[in-house]
Structure 1
Amino acid sequence: MSARLTALASEFGLVERALGDPAALADPREYARLTRRHRELLPLITVLRERDSVDRDLAGARELLTDPDMRELAAGEVQTLGARLTELDAELVVLLLPTDPDDPKDVILELRAGAGGAEAGLFVMDLLRLYTRYAEGLGLRLNVLDANESDLGGASKVVAEVTGDGAYRAFKWERGVHRVQRVPATESQGRIHTSTVTVAVLPEAEQGEVQLDLSEVRIDVFRSQGAGGQGVNTTDSAVRAVYRAGTPDEIMVVCQDGRSQIKNREKALQVLAARLAERERAAREAQERSDRAAQVGTGDRSEKIRTYNYPQNRVTDHRLEGEDKNHPLDSVMTGVLAPVVGALARAQREQQLLEMAGGDEQHGAA
């Protein structure tokens, strides 16, 4: 661990010096990269510096143990500083765990109604409101790019963009099938119905991450439409981007948020690039899963991840266990999703620590 800490401390120094270089300030993209890396390394460097300070103080306290007049005071200092050193070492282990390189990125959210017909469409909009409030609470911005709305107030599909530092880190846990159990407003006999909504979370592709050949993309323009077919504006500003139309690889993206056709075209191509990048990642993950014979579970994104039970006022995340598994529905639906996300992040860290410990044991045995 010490060699890696030394390397990261050295990298932090290089980043700090580079941030003071006028050349970096002149290159917005490079400056943004350096700023992001500085922000990523700062928590670890802060703990590392405190650890070095505590370690020096501990060495000084141990030297005083030989002084009869200072021995009692020094013994207390040694105990206190030793305990703090142990705590800091544990914090460093967690901070050294692998992080997702996509965490800082903006994301594309795709919500699609599944089983349940109109009720599923209504829950699409419920989730959209939940995510909008959750994003606002984190200082992120959620902007709807396209929505196939119904006259009943639901939607068969919603595509939205979430922008701001850490957007993917905040939303990556939402991908999968969300199941809702409740009595629909149209149910006269009070029977509980079960519906599903599928959520996809796509980190926006960085420039150069995917090679998008524009000769394989058909661009259509049309008049934006709102719920019930009402025109949003009077110009043909909406854009439909179709990748490899008519082939098994076809991907269609619609963007009708902005009044500018140019901006809608740019955003549609960004979403298309994100979906292509996600397709490539999914293909790599599928290959890794097939190569990992000991893997437990499929990890397929179509698996149910969460149930929203309205009669019991309970949200159950099926990836969690014990007290972390259930949360109050009335709170979650107002955007208080942080407790669920925090529990999922902790569970992931615990699993990483177990895997690290297992790897260390195997290395020691070898």
Structure 2
Amino acid sequence: MKDTMRSKLTQLVRRLEEIDQNLQDPDVTSNMDQFRALSKERAEIEPVVLKAKEYEQAEEDLAAAEEMLSDEEMKEFASEEIKAAKKAIEQISSELEILLLPKDPNDDKNIYLEIRAGTGGDESALFAGDLFRMYSRYAERQKWQVEFVSASPSDLGGYKEIVVKIVGQGAYSKLKFESGGHRVQRVPETE
């Protein structure tokens, strides 16, 4: 791990400890705006700190396995443990790099999802309905709320147009690249 990354993780660990101490202070808990801001910052930092502790544990496991190499009876077991620890260190390191990337300020915002059937009549309306069901089920799994804004159902069960508001933490961050046209082509059963 790079020194800059390690120093950033150390700063985050210290900041989390500082936030935890501040959250126990009665003056902070009486000021709801400050309490809310600290709680939000803690929620952003905590996953990174937990992953950093997981990384430290993997490094400790690697060091312990390397110590076992000197014992002839434990040599085979130690080599397997070394491989597993190195693999874990590599995986956790890449996850930490992603967690330390700067966040988009809009990531925690809600979104409006618009689905419109294009040319293709009833077939495209059915596809629009399928898309809506897919997105609404995804939203349910993420524990987001789906609020209908407007809908124009088609005769066969799809939607000519549907607009919904998706409310939940991280909705924008996970759906911000879901834009553009989608195409579906029906294949007859005879082919």
Given the two structures, how large is their TM-score scaled by the length of structure 2?
Answer: 0.69
1:268-290 CA-partner distances (Å, limit 9, x unpaired): xxxxxxxxxxxxxxxxxxxxxxx
Distance change in 2, residues 1:25/1:118 (3 Å): farther
- Alignment map for 1:47-58 (pairs within 5 Å): 47-56=51-60
Q: How many residues align?
A: 182
1:181-205 CA-partner distances (Å, limit 9, x unpaired): 227xxxxxx6xxxxxxxxxxxxxxx
Given the two structures, how large is their TM-score scaled by the length of structure 1?
Answer: 0.40
Alignment of 1:164 onto 2:168:
yes
After TM superposition, give the deviation of residue 115 of structure 1 in Å. 2.6
Q: Which residue of 1 aligns with 2:71?
A: 71
Note the residue ranges of structure 2 that are not aligned, 5 or more in a row. none
1:105-135 CA-partner distances (Å, limit 9, x unpaired): 3222111232324443343233222222222
Any runs of at least 4 consecutive aligned residues in structure 1 with deviations exceeding 6 A, and if so which?
none
- Alignment map for 1:154-233 (pairs within 5 Å): 154-182=158-186
More helix, by proportion: 2
1:293-348 CA-partner distances (Å, limit 9, x unpaired): xxxxxxxxxxxxxxxxxx6xxxxxxxxxxxxxxxxxxxxxxxxxxxxxxxxxxxxx
Q: For 1:147, what is the secondary structure of its paired residue?
A: strand
RMSD across aligned positions (CA): 3.6
Q: Which residue of 2 aligns with 1:142?
A: 146
Residue from 104, 107, 113 that aligns with 1:109: 113
Quick check: 2:62–2:81 contact (8 Å CA) kept in 1? no
- Alignment map for 1:76-87 (pairs within 5 Å): 76-77=77-78, 80-81=81-82, 83-87=84-88
Query: Between the two proteins, what is the percent identity of the paired residues?
Result: 33
Distance change in 2, residues 1:116/1:23 (3 Å): farther
Q: What is the alpha-carbon distance in structure 2 between the residues aligned to residue 116 and residue 43 of structure 1?
A: 46
1:339-362 CA-partner distances (Å, limit 9, x unpaired): xxxxxxxxxxxxxxxxxxxxxxxx
Q: What is the alpha-carbon distance in structure 2 between the residues aligned to residue 39 and residue 72 of structure 1?
A: 47
- Alignment map for 1:229-268 (pairs within 5 Å): none
Q: What is the alpha-carbon distance in structure 2 between the residues aligned to residue 24 and residue 113 of structure 1?
A: 51
1:11-68 CA-partner distances (Å, limit 9, x unpaired): 3323333333445544555545444443343333223223334545655676687xxx
Q: For 2:120, what is the secondary structure of its paired residue?
A: coil
- Alignment map for 1:4-19 (pairs within 5 Å): 4-19=8-23
Distance change in 2, residues 1:33/1:74 (3 Å): farther
Q: For 1:177, what is the secondary structure of its paired residue?
A: coil
- Alignment map for 1:33-52 (pairs within 5 Å): 33-52=37-56
More strand, by proportion: 1
Q: What is the alpha-carbon distance in structure 1 between the residues aligned to residue 64 and residue 186 of structure 2?
A: 65
Q: What is the alpha-carbon distance in structure 1 between the residues aligned to residue 157 and residue 58 of structure 2?
A: 60
